[in-house]
């Protein structure tokens, strides 16, 4: 009886081993995508533009110049344009706006902002005409604003204006 049980146990083990060696595993496959969308973006506020400070003068008998820096960070490869508004105190003659600072008492000092150090290319907000065009690199790109107050007579006082910076991308 023991021999019969041993034989039966052996046969079960041999059958199990044979089944394991002849059975093959079935598989099924599929795939999936990995994706991301990078949206173009620009930032001009992280590093705020510096003020154009013409300083303090006892007269405007000669031209006065000053500069400012605008830093723009845009997604690499993104085209952008930097435009500068006419200011809060602009005077318009026909379709030409003249930038002016005011002392708050109805006195004005005219000025202009330029894209070049020779002060020949006025800066405005009309894309394709008087804005600065660039392409983003992913890093801050600095652009200089060149200011000019032309020689003129002006009342004594502290004059200011505010210019809107617009980045179109």
- List, for residues 83-120, the tens digit of each pLDDT value: 999 999 998 766 667 899 999 999 999 999 999 999 99
CB 82, CB 68: distance < 8 Å: no
Q: Say which residue the tokens 């318009």 belong to.
A: 92
Strands 96-102 and 91-93: antiparallel
Number of domains composing the chain? 1
Asked if residue 18 is part of any domain, the answer here is no
Helix (H/G/I), strand (E/B), else coil: 156: coil
Asked if residue 159 is part of any domain, the answer here is yes
* DSSP code for 51: P
Instruction: Give the DSSP H or E segment for 160.
Output: none
Q: Output the domain CATH number for residue 121.
A: 2.60.40.1090
Asked if residue 21 is part of any domain, the answer here is no
Mean pLDDT along residues 112-135? 94
The C-alpha atoms of residue 48 and residue 164 are separated, in whole angstroms, by 12
Asked if residue 80 is part of any domain, the answer here is yes
Distances 160 to 11, 16, 55, 108 between C-alpha atoms, Å: 103, 94, 11, 9
Asked if residue 35 is part of any domain, the answer here is no
Q: Is the pLDDT of residue 3 over 70?
A: no
Please state whether the predicted TM-score (pTM) of the whole model is above 0.85: no
Read off the pLDDT of residues 21-67 as tens digits, 9 standing for 90 and up: 557 899 999 999 999 999 999 999 888 899 999 999 988 899 999 99
Closest CA to 163 of 118, 108, 116, 101: 101
Q: Is the pLDDT of residue 4 over 50?
A: no
Asked if residue 161 is part of any domain, the answer here is yes
Closest CA to 100 of 92, 63, 108: 108
Asked if residue 149 is part of any domain, the answer here is yes
Asked if residue 11 is part of any domain, the answer here is no
The predicted pLDDT at position 2 comes to 53
Q: Say which residue the tokens 């992913």 belong to.
A: 138
Instruction: Give the DSSP H or E segment for 80.
Output: strand 79-84
Mean pLDDT along residues 1-24? 54
- Please give the residue range of the domain that contains residue 141: 42-168
């Amino acid at each position: 009886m023991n021999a019969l049980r041993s034989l039966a146990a052996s046969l079960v083990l041999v059958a199990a081993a044979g089944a394991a060696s002849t059975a093959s595993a079935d598989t099924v496959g599929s795939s999936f995508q990995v994706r991301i969308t990078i949206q173009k973006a620009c930032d001009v506020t992280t590093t705020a533009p510096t003020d154009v400070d013409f300083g303090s003068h006892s007269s405007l008998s000669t031209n006065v110049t000053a500069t400012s820096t605008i830093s723009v960070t845009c997604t690499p490869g993104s085209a952008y344009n930097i435009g500068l508004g006419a200011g809060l105190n602009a005077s318009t003659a026909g379709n030409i706006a003249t930038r002016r600072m005011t002392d708050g008492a109805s006195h004005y000092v005219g000025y202009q902002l330029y894209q070049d150090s020779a002060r020949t290319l006025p800066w405005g907000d009309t894309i394709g005409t008087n804005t600065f065009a660039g392409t983003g690199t992913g890093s801050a790109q600095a652009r200089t604003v060149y200011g000019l107050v032309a020689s003129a007579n002006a009342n004594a006082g502290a004059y200011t204006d505010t210019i809107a910076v617009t980045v179109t991308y």
